Structure 1
Amino acid sequence: MNGSQAGIAARAAWLSSCCNQSGVQPEPPEGPRALQAAVLGVLSLLVLCGVLFLGGGLLLRAQGLTALLARELLASREAEPSGASGGEDDS
């Protein structure tokens, strides 16, 4: 057996030991996968709570600004004299 045949044989042996030739995926152990799923679930829940908290805060701030703007608009309308037409009668 020459060097190239030995390399091919070594590669074939590595492939047969590394990869499943039957086409069936090997099943990983359940312990680490269950732990990974639990951690992912907890992190997803934390992210969801954070998004809801920040979104709620932004919504409350927007409502406060809208109420402030409505009060200012109402106050400015009440402060205007009712007989003033804007100064366009000077002609």
Structure 2
Amino acid sequence: MNGSQADAGAQAAWLSSCCNQSGAPPEPPEGPRALQAAVLGVLSLLVLCGVLFLGGGLLLRAQGLAALPTRERRASREAEPGGASGGDDDS
């Protein structure tokens, strides 16, 4: 083995000890990545629950507002005939 082959071997050993075969830095350990995934999962569930809660509240409010004129019309129709018949009963 000549000097250039020894240098190439040492360089390859150093490269494999600090980097993977593509020359890129090694990947971080899986622990922090798993923790990050868990935190993101919990946050996304909280956001989803908040959207559903607020959306449900808005939907109930919209249904109540849509039903309000119907109730008022019904109440006014019932009050007119009821008021006239009630006046007749009192006389």
**TM-score normalised according to structure 1 size:** 0.54
- 1:74-89 equivalences under 5 Å are 74-75=74-75
Unaligned 5+ runs, structure 2: 1-14, 81-91
Alpha carbon RMSD of aligned pairs, Å?
3.2
Q: Measure, in 1, the Cα distance between the counterparts of 2:23 and 2:72.
A: 72
1:69 Cα deviation after fit: 1.6
Q: Measure, in 2, the Cα distance between the counterparts of 1:29 and 1:68.
A: 60
Where relative contact order (Cα < 8 A, 6+ residues apart) is larger, the structure is 2
Runs of 4+ in 1 over 6 A off after TM superposition: 77-80
1 or 2, which has the higher helix percentage? Answer: 2
Q: Measure, in 2, the Cα distance between the counterparts of 1:70 and 1:39.
A: 47
Give the aligned length.
64
Q: Measure, in 2, the Cα distance between the counterparts of 1:23 and 1:52.
A: 47
| % same residue | 87
After superposition, the C-alpha distances for 1:9-28 in whole angstroms (9 at most, x for unaligned) are xxxxxxx8xx8782556321
Aligned amino acid, residue 40 of structure 2: L
